Amino acid sequence: MKIWSSEHVFGHPWDTVIKAAMRKYPNPMNPCVVGVDVLERSVDGRGRLHSHRLLSTEWGLPGFVKAILGTSRTLTYIKEHSVVDPVEKKMELCSTNITLTNLVSVNERLVYTPHPEDPELTVLTQEAIITVKGISLGSYLESLMASTISSNARKMPHPKNQRRKKERTKEKKEGRRKGRKKEEISEP
């Protein structure tokens, strides 16, 4: 079993991040997710949005890994359940694979909350538990899958870079309004 965890701070308020998270697939940054189907969506008595989705994913496994697993199948399905609580400003998303479960299980949990010190930022806590079953080199394969999850998580923009980009954009707009040329704006 391999446990992977990460924390990321987005340079945007919780509401904005949640809207983006609900629309994040499919996208070119993670082409492994080839389809998303909403199976059920409802609002409970406390105003929380519950969503059940089915994700179709294409695992780009190397040939030797397919040989170790004893399968050429790489199209897999993942069930995802999320709860968005707009009052507590918390989104929790849990997902697990529902194909190839005799060989591997990947259970992932993501929690989005406002940053405790700055409401203009959002904290994502992400963890995954990966278990490869009954296969020699299972530990190696678990590490390989954890590395892939980590690589996908690093594709998120860093909040400091987002803030700098916003500041540069704002400065450029202000410079144009004042009749200055774009090149005259200096970086801090």
Q: Inform me whether the pLDDT recorded for 77 exceeds 70.
A: yes
Residue 66 has pLDDT above 80, yes or no: no
| Tokens 């060989």 belong to residue | 103
Q: What is the pLDDT of residues 141-175, one digit of tens each?
A: 666 666 766 666 665 555 454 554 455 444 444 54
Would you put residue 137 in left (φ > 0), alpha (ψ -120 to 50) or beta?
Answer: left
User: Topology of domain 2-172, per CATH?
Assistant: Alpha-D-Glucose-1,6-Bisphosphate; Chain A, domain 4 (3.30.530)
Whole-prediction pTM value?
A: 0.70
Query: Quick one: which of 56, 53, 58, 66 has its CA closest to 103?
Result: 66
Structure tokens of 27? 């996208």
**What are the residue boundaries of the structural domains of the chain, listed by start?**
2-172
Cis peptide before 28 (omega within 30 of 0): no
Whether the CA torsion 41, 157, 127, 77 is positive or negative: it is positive
pLDDT tens figures, 24-48: 888 888 788 889 999 999 999 999 9
**Is there a contact between 89 and 113 (Cβ–Cβ < 8 Å)?**
yes
